Amino acid sequence: MDHDKPVLMIGGGRSGWAVARFFAGRRVPVTIYDQKKLDWPDDWPADCDRQLVSLVSGEQPELDLSGFGRLVVSPGVSVYHQLVVAAAARGIPVISELELAWTFSPADCVAVTGTNGKTTVTTMIGRILSQAGRRVVVGGNIGTPLISLVDRIDRQTVVVAEVSSFQLEAARTFAPKVAVVLNLTPDHLDRHRTFDQYRQCKEKIFSQQRPENRLVLNADDPVVAGMRQRAPGQVWWFSLGGSCRPGTWLDRGKLWLDDGQGCQLIMERRQLPLPGDHNVANALAAAAAAAACQVETAAIAGALTGFTGVEHRIEKCGQLNGKDCYNDSKATNPESAIVALQAFDQPLIWLAGGKDKLTDLSELMNLAA
């Protein structure tokens, strides 16, 4: 891959402009294409030459692809996009923004994926590592493009990344030191077409790992547990259903860890501030990932005890006529909405809506009824 040849960026959102800033700052020409009209962001750096960035928009772009050294796709752009297919046919490398950041980052990476819980677990891991004294940056699908963090990263930094199937779709060599797969249920089938293709995208989080790397899997999810057969690295587990070694588990109201050096108590379940079994599972996954990074059990417990959640995930946001109101707008699939509703014992008024992603809503509707 020629690092000095012009770059074509497909997608003019947050990731697209972050990629443009990255390359323009290195004096590499970039073309950004988006179907929608592109406008320069207000935060474009003064020392970054705009002359190096070309903007192209419209439904049917006429671009000569021959001069580009690589094509970078934003998470919102499918690998089935006409320009992506045309570039691949010409032998032009097609990569995701995640892969680009991985190529230029010198740091170890802890990466989290799954259908639900990614942001909570990513935030938990970042909090644990930070409170344990590590130098940490948190980014990816959680909101900050990883490529925008590369210039802040050195070999002593740990990158904690939330990664989606969209980001993994065009990953090629991405190989985090610790990978976490939380769960897998049908989602984004409007993009990935089948559940098996969706699973294959998710498995790219660990497919390039080395034997000394760690993979944390959910022992309670049959699809995720089955990934062990294809894991090149060392598998750790987390479970709500009892002992699983090496890894973390819940037993008789307590969270436990076995890192191969013996069983240790992490904390009591009642010490977790967040409601719901799903958040216990999230805490177990985060604890396993932190332990795989050699964080002491006391530091893990201290960070989890003080963790009160993240925005838009069963987030208490006030009262209306004496009724508590919660924002759970990140529940973007049926399974996520189900676990949120099941976290409450009292009667609810539920306001729901969103985009049809071709997923089965029957279980959610039965619960609501």
CB 312 within 8 A of CB 330: yes
Other CB atoms within a 10 A radius of the CB of residue 46 amount to: 4
Given a contact cutoff of 8 angstroms between Cβ atoms, the answer to whether 96 and 103 are in contact is no
CB 88 within 8 A of CB 68: no
Core vs surface per residue 353-369: b (16+ CB within 10 A) or e: eeeeeebeeeebeeeee
% helix / strand / coil in the chain, to the nearest 5? Answer: 35, 20, 45
The whole-angstrom separation of Cα 270 and Cα 199 is 34
Check if the beta carbon of residue 190 is closer than 8 Å to that of residue 166: no
Given 177, 188, 202, 278, which residue is catalytic? 188
In the chain, DSSP finds a helix count (H) and a strand count (E) of: 12, 16
d(CA 93, CA 35): 22
Rounded CA gap, 33 and 181, in Å? 32
Active site residue 118: yes
**Rounded to an integer, what distance in angstroms lies between the CA atom of residue 101 and that of residue 47?**
21
Burial environment of residue 252 by CB neighbours within 10 A (0 to 12, 13 to 18, 19 or more) = exposed
Catalytic residue among 118, 177, 192, 278: 118
Main-chain phi, psi angles of 121, to 5 degrees: -70, -40
Residues 6+ apart with CB under 8 A from 23: 7, 29, 30, 52
Residue of 141, 183, 218, 282 with catalytic role: 141
188 included as an active-site residue: yes
DSSP code, position 38:
P
**126 phi, psi to nearest 5 deg:** -60, -40
Catalytic residue list: 118, 141, 188
